[in-house]
Amino acid sequence: MSKRSSNSPLICRVCGDVARGLNFDVITCMSCKAFFRRNACSIAKPLQCQLNNDCVITKQTRGDCSACRLKKCLNLGMNRNLIRSPPQPRHRPRTTIENEPSTNLQVTTVNQIRDDRLTLTFEEWNLLSQILHVYDEQNIINQTQSTLKQQLSLPPKLRSKQAGTLQIIGTFYSTMKTFLERSPYFNTLSSEQHRLIIENNLSGTGTWHFLYAAIQTRLFDHSSHLVTCNEIYGEDFVRQCRYLINRMESNGTLIKIMLMILSYSSNSSIVVYDPTLEITSTTLPNLSIPLFRIQEIFINMMWKYLVYQYGLNDAIRRFNHLVKNYLDILNQINANPSLQHREMIHTIMKSSVPALDFQS
């Protein structure tokens, strides 16, 4: 990031005020954070708009209509599940003098871990905001839901065409490519590095992106889509994909960060060895070392966010779960029987860097 962009303030996505960081999965100011915490899980009488349920929410008007403000929070993706219940008072047993040194040592250790939750720098919050913005501006979830609604209006025979299903699935791979191309640091890489990360990563990251988006759009709840998926991929393959979907991380922010990290890998997919491809011991480090440096920036930011959001133990557990889920998806990709799917991915890869010839 340039000095100018790194010094620019974060903007609250709800009201446009100066933001302080990521709150409940969305960059917000402290006022909107507190508002969402108070109202998102309220079991009292539902909030009601006095006008047309379409009030404009700004810094100046955010206090005028709580119903529309909460609606906007939810539409932007603020997550009720991340609201922590207020801590319950605990009655600590009296300790003897002999136990005081060890007790003090334990409290100091816990406090040090809690302090780690505050170590995200302004530049890291800004970087996180950029990643979420680049993903959200593609509006892929809403576009897919609109496409599915249009399909439902068609006659049954037209709904169940394989070409329509492959087009929907291919969109998630194409937007994954766009997500990478518009991300921070992409323009700092050479065209050969662009080729390397798209060719070696799009299959894995695109599939993970598709499965994550399938949750958001309830894709497999559409019977016509499910039927054609069974025709293209086979029922066993689709059943295993649905199992992996049910085991995915619930925090979408972590998925988006992890997609970015994997996209800047020298290889995060299963590839078939090609003996005709000449890669020498000198060219590979020249291509990979800049990627490792970029990955290090993203990984440090992700780890700080994990600890900030969940504490040390849960951060470790969630990170392990993310890695395990992605490895399971790679194994599933390797079992994909669909020639149509492989040809679709190859076409998307070739269109990514037209000046370069991709390996088939």
Question: How high is the mean pLDDT in each 10-residue block of the chain (360 residues)?
Answer: 49 88 87 88 75 85 88 88 59 39 35 50 86 83 74 63 82 86 87 84 88 84 83 90 87 90 83 58 62 90 88 90 91 86 83 48
Given the structure tokens 């791979």, which residue do they identify?
173
Q: Helix or strand or coil: residue 271?
A: coil
pLDDT for res 2: 37
Name the DSSP letter for residue 192: H
Calpha distance 294→290 (Å, rounded): 6
Compute φ and ψ for 28, nearest 5 degrees: -140, 165
Token digits of residue 90: 């605990």
Helix (H) or strand (E) holding 21: strand 21-23
pLDDT for res 112: 39
Nearest to 10 by CA among 20, 25, 23, 24: 20
Report yes or no: 261 and 299 within 8 Å, Cβ to Cβ: yes
Q: Which residues neighbour 56 within 8 Å (Cβ) at sequence distance 6 or greater?
A: none
Given the structure tokens 């194409």, which residue do they identify?
174
Token digits of residue 185: 């640091």
Angle between helices 283-310 and 252-263 (to 10 degrees): 170
Token digits of residue 344: 């679709």
pLDDT for res 72: 92
Calpha distance 165→77 (Å, rounded): 26
pLDDT for res 273: 60
Nearest to 206 by CA among 37, 344, 10: 344
Report yes or no: 297 and 168 within 8 Å, Cβ to Cβ: no
Calpha distance 127→294 (Å, rounded): 12
Report yes or no: 342 and 354 within 8 Å, Cβ to Cβ: no
Nearest to 340 by CA among 234, 242, 250: 234
Calpha distance 269→259 (Å, rounded): 12
Report yes or no: 10 and 19 within 8 Å, Cβ to Cβ: yes
Calpha distance 304→276 (Å, rounded): 42
Query: Within the chain, where are the H helices?
Result: 3-7, 30-39, 66-75, 100-115, 122-136, 140-152, 156-159, 162-181, 191-217, 223-233, 235-246, 252-263, 283-310, 312-334, 339-352
Going along the chain from its start, the domains and CATH numbers come out as 3-82 (3.30.50.10), 122-352 (1.10.565.10)
